[in-house]
Amino acid sequence: MTAPAPARLPLAVYVLGATIFCLGTSEFMLAGLLPDLARDLGVGLPTAGGLISGFAIGMLVGAPVMALLTLRLPRRTTLVAAALVFAVAHLAGAVADDYVLLMVSRVVAAVACATYWAVAAVTALALSPAGATARAMAVVVGGLTVANVAGVPLGTLVGSAGGWRLTFVAVGALTLVAAVATAWLVPETRARDVDTTPYGAVLRRELRTFRRLPLWVALGTTAAFQATVFCTFSYLAPVVTDVAGLSESAVPGVLLAFGVGSVVGVVLGGRYADRDLMGNVLVSLVALAGSLVLLVALAPLPGALVPAVFVFGVAAFSIASAINARVLGLAGDAPTLASAVNVSAFNVGNAVGPAVGGAVIASGAGYLAPAWASVGLAVVALGLALVSRRIERPEPGRPEKPGQSESAAVPAVPPTPTLCTSGCADAS
């Protein structure tokens, strides 16, 4: 007998992924625009770089705060509002003639981005058919990955042709289109009792989720994994020029290899994770550590660096959809705040990883030292994942996720009967 065809994802999930692409392009594009932006605003390059930190802080703090403030709002309404605020913040930033005003617009955009990301993850989960939750997460994460591969180079190209302000206008305009698509094509989804339950009760239900030790371990795994990736990725440029001996013009091509690898990793990981979430996490972390050792071994060989970085990208992002799906699954019937805190965990990794890499380089250990430090961080992430496998047990009355063995059971994603889609009287 032939295996049944995998369930198809609804169009709305791809709309969410496409909007994440717009938001993700903004998050990363500033790196290629900083020199032009600094000259235009009359500030130093390090000061201009503070705009990147401001966005990261907005994401870190904004995700859980906005999740709490929007608990009673319909999810589609929250998504559309977040996209509109994000778009307006970029259009305002495009006409800002003062560094402080631009910083404010970046922080506002980051809070909107965090809000959309957290709610989009929960919405994609609610809309995905049985057996396709990890693939739905892969589409959402894939939007961010494609932004890193295509959106950032395109944004830099637009900025080079028409100035950094034109890039801000382009991102704002695209996000307006995405907001319309979200309003038109994404159905309302939320728990049936959200309109009849007092806000305090809904808030307590969301906060009770964080009494669960497995959820904290999963969030720690997210942060450790992200730190593993960015500890090395942040310092690939000097590896290209000083270790491999290639010219600076080769750096974009090497980074593109990582981006293409990450897209492949998201697709492969999403398909495997629907069969075994915990298995995907463990295998991916082992593969990530192995790819870092391979990178260290091949980096001095100019012809081998690009394939090694590609493999690093595949391994790094093959886990992305699984760790998102795991956190949402562990959150049970209160996923919104957990999804937001998971965004914060990613940003903790974004901050810790480069800091660790910079520290080992500053110690005089060389430009390959961050890769060895990343191996250590990957071991930490793997240890946390193994702890998760040991302590997680299905909750009474909650079915085990299809395709998982009893030894690796993860509390299942809330069953679809607890959700209501467009057309229900109390839907959101």
- Mind listing the pLDDT tens digit for each residue in 85-97? 999 999 999 999 8
CA distances 383 to 217, 220, 230, 252, Å, are 10, 10, 19, 34
Question: Domains in the chain and their CATH numbers?
Answer: 9-190 (1.20.1250.20), 209-411 (1.20.1250.20)
DSSP 3-state assignment of 23? helix
Intervals of the chain under pLDDT 70: 1-7, 31-32, 46, 148-149, 152, 190-197, 199, 202, 333-334, 392-428
Q: What is the rounded CA–CA span in Å between residue 305 and residue 289?
A: 17
Q: What is the rounded CA–CA span in Å between residue 43 and residue 39?
A: 7
User: Which among 98, 105, 83, 259 has a CA at the least distance from the CA of 168?
Assistant: 105
Q: What is the rounded CA–CA span in Å between residue 342 and residue 159?
A: 32
Q: What is the rounded CA–CA span in Å between residue 61 and residue 343?
A: 10
